[in-house]
Structure 1
Amino acid sequence: MKKIILFAMVVLLGAFMAACGSSNAEEGSNSEEVTIGYFPNINHVAGMVAEEKELYSESLPDGTTVNYQYFPDGSAFMTALETGDIEAGIVGPGPAMNHYTSGAEVSVVAAGSAGGTVIMARKDAGIESPEDLAGKNFISPRVGCTHDVQFETQMKEDFGMTTDRVNGEIKHVTGKPATYSNMFATGNVDVATVPEPWASFIEEEGTGEVLIDTPEVAYGETLPAAVFVTSNELIENDPELVQNIVDAHKNATEFIQNNPDEAKTIAIEKIKDITDQELSSEVIDRAWERIDFTYEVDAEVLQEFANSSYDLGFLDEQPDLSGLVDKQFIE
């Protein structure tokens, strides 16, 4: 009888331990978190669509918690990636390349979009052509960012002008693209290198006019306007997770290509949620025409752009981007 009781106790204890183990495993699966970063720019619509349609939750293992973090500029984004505050996301190619050449262990695993940069002049600023920019000031999101490099490359190579950063003729200031129209209206800046949809917003508001449109801007249609990046550590330690993340980004991009009207609606709503600015459908329609939503990325174009960044003095050494682009997850 004692043996029977002892056996029963062992069985019950084993069942209890198994139940505890099952509970812990379940808790472990639910504890996984992934944070994706992007900007409230139309070049980053893939991030907005993926968030709205919960595409990361569909692609990642069951129980994964997906968070999103929004950034005002590329430097803040790259810092968050390097410190592990985010696992992956969409950023301009400039910050990605600058941090890579500074020793950051990051990889571009896809593109986010191409095009969408417009150089705008303030209405009534007396600027009829780029030759009129001597003595004027221009604004970009950040020193050395993608749009800044595009503008300065254009001015130097095509018009022989540089900024006050190198004792040149054009004064440079920085600010958030969503504020550019107001800064034009108040006369605080003369020229802006603007990512969409803010160029189209300026056009609608009537505070500025197109000085150089996307096809004529330096690297305007060939350079990825946004790239999808992650850390080398994550690629090495969990390539399956990276594949799941990239798959969700690809699905978001294909959704944009196949459902442009719905994607535009999502963009309008997300930009309003993040920036408190509601853009009209006319603004989004105009901006859409300047952008190519693609996840394909060309390493050679990125290298050429990095060379321009070096020529402008944003990089201390001649860049070598060998190894920056890792296309295994989109092939």
Structure 2
Amino acid sequence: MTATSRVTSRLGLVGGMMMAGAIVASAALAGCAAQSAADEAPAASTGPADELRLGLFANVTHAPALVGLEEGLLNDALGETELTTSVFNAGPAAIEALSAGAIDATYIGPNPSINTFIQSGGQSARIVAGAATGGAALVVADGIDTVDDLEGTTLATPQLGNTQDVALRSWLADEGFETDTTGGGDVHITPTDNAQTLTLFQQGGLDGAWLPEPWVSRLIIDAGAKVLVDEADLWEDGAFPTTVLLVRAEFLAEHPETVRALIEGHEASVAWLGEHADEAADVINAGIEAETGKPLADAVIDRALEHVTFSVDPHAETFETLIENGLAAGTQKEGSIDGVFDLRILNELRADAGDEPVSAGGLGEE
């Protein structure tokens, strides 16, 4: 059986702004801890791990994790290694757990992955596969019809420095708006738990939010929001990474056999999603219900799945732009991400299956 612990960040409208500085500070400390741990990592494998502690979010963009758990694909691949899971609301909280050694791997957005790599001097973690692209948007209330209407509004994101938070801040900067990490500026951004964002939006306490699926669709269908910006429209061919599979560097060095099994199970989950389109909504919804206690409405999950693509390709070619966005947003430090990818195991598995290799874009091993 998979043991599940629920680790969610619940930042309110005011609390999100008050905690912003603390989150940045704790992320930096976590990066230092990761570097220290990685410096002590053994150079050779110590064999398969007894346990793999995996992080994930109860989001449609984390469907490979949810399907892998529901269909037993991850457990089957891991064999004798026990799989335990922790559920997070957004990437920075998952990174804190990974950096502290509380989890070994996590499904997560690209921006927190970049942050931990830079903050640790390249020692904390490696992206070993992609998981999902697309499925993020800025949704707003009636009366907001153009970009100019955003001045003076209050918008939510899942957490300071998470992938959607960076996307919103960098996009607003491109549109000529000033923001800051404490909620000030021309547009007020408040990092807020996704479920609370829905409630606050319904109560009129928020004017909109930049969110991943299924929360985009929940605000549209359950709360009458409308899409002002689909993030896919901001990227060439509409392809941008929403979720990757990130592994703690020390764990990868100690247990490459276990990481290989994890990637095998992950690939099987992504393949299952491509081969079972008619069943996917029900299985993903069962996974969401298992983690949250409540399934999504059929209309919500059906709409959400229309905007997400599942692939093991992490779209490494976008990561330099993601760095630029993080710097523009003021949520990350300058630094190199050379080495952030280790796609060797993934590409070995793909070669065995006769598939084309996935590129690391010159940013790591492939």
Q: Structure 2 length normalisation: TM-score?
A: 0.77
Verify the 8 A CA contact 1:303 1:320 in the aligned structure 2.
no
Task: Specify the code of the residue in structure 2 equivalent to 1:65.
Answer: E
1:223 is aligned to: 240
CA distance in 2: counterparts of 1:222 and 1:88, whole angstroms: 24
* 1:111 correspondence with 2:116: no
1:271-309 C-alpha deviation (Å, 9 max, x unpaired): 223223431222111111111101112223112201221
How far the C-alpha of 1:208 sits from its partner, in A, is 1.1
Match for 2:54 among 36, 51, 65?
36
1:280 is aligned to: 297
Verify the 8 A CA contact 2:89 2:193 in the aligned structure 1.
yes
Match for 1:323 among 328, 339, 345?
339
CA distance in 2: counterparts of 1:272 and 1:60, whole angstroms: 24
Change (3 A) 1:144 1:31: closer
CA distance in 1: counterparts of 2:197 and 2:329, whole angstroms: 24
1:229-253 C-alpha deviation (Å, 9 max, x unpaired): 1011122222121111111111111
Identity of aligned residues (%): 27
2:172 is aligned to: 155
* 1:297 correspondence with 2:318: no
Verify the 8 A CA contact 2:125 2:249 in the aligned structure 1.
yes
Verify the 8 A CA contact 1:139 1:191 in the aligned structure 2.
yes
Task: Specify the code of the residue in structure 2 equivalent to 1:321.
Answer: I
Verify the 8 A CA contact 1:36 1:67 in the aligned structure 2.
yes
RMSD (Å), alpha carbons = 2.0
1:121 is aligned to: 140
Aligned length: 298
2:63 is aligned to: 45
Change (3 A) 1:190 1:280: same
Match for 1:74 among 68, 72, 91?
91
CA distance in 2: counterparts of 1:286 and 1:235, whole angstroms: 36
CA distance in 2: counterparts of 1:273 and 1:179, whole angstroms: 20
2:108 is aligned to: 91
Verify the 8 A CA contact 1:115 1:223 in the aligned structure 2.
yes
1:25 is aligned to: none
Unaligned runs of 5+ in 1: 1-28
* 1:267 correspondence with 2:281: no
Q: Structure 1 length normalisation: TM-score?
A: 0.84
How far the C-alpha of 1:255 sits from its partner, in A, is 0.5
Verify the 8 A CA contact 1:154 1:218 in the aligned structure 2.
no
How far the C-alpha of 1:223 sits from its partner, in A, is 2.2
Verify the 8 A CA contact 2:155 2:187 in the aligned structure 1.
yes
Report SS of the residue matched to 1:49: helix
Report SS of the residue matched to 2:205: coil
Task: Specify the code of the residue in structure 2 equivalent to 1:187.
Answer: G
Verify the 8 A CA contact 2:49 2:258 in the aligned structure 1.
no
How far the C-alpha of 1:218 sits from its partner, in A, is 5.9
Poorly superposed stretches of 4+, deviation over 4 Å: 217-220
Report SS of the residue matched to 1:131: helix
Verify the 8 A CA contact 2:146 2:228 in the aligned structure 1.
yes
CA distance in 2: counterparts of 1:257 and 1:283, whole angstroms: 20
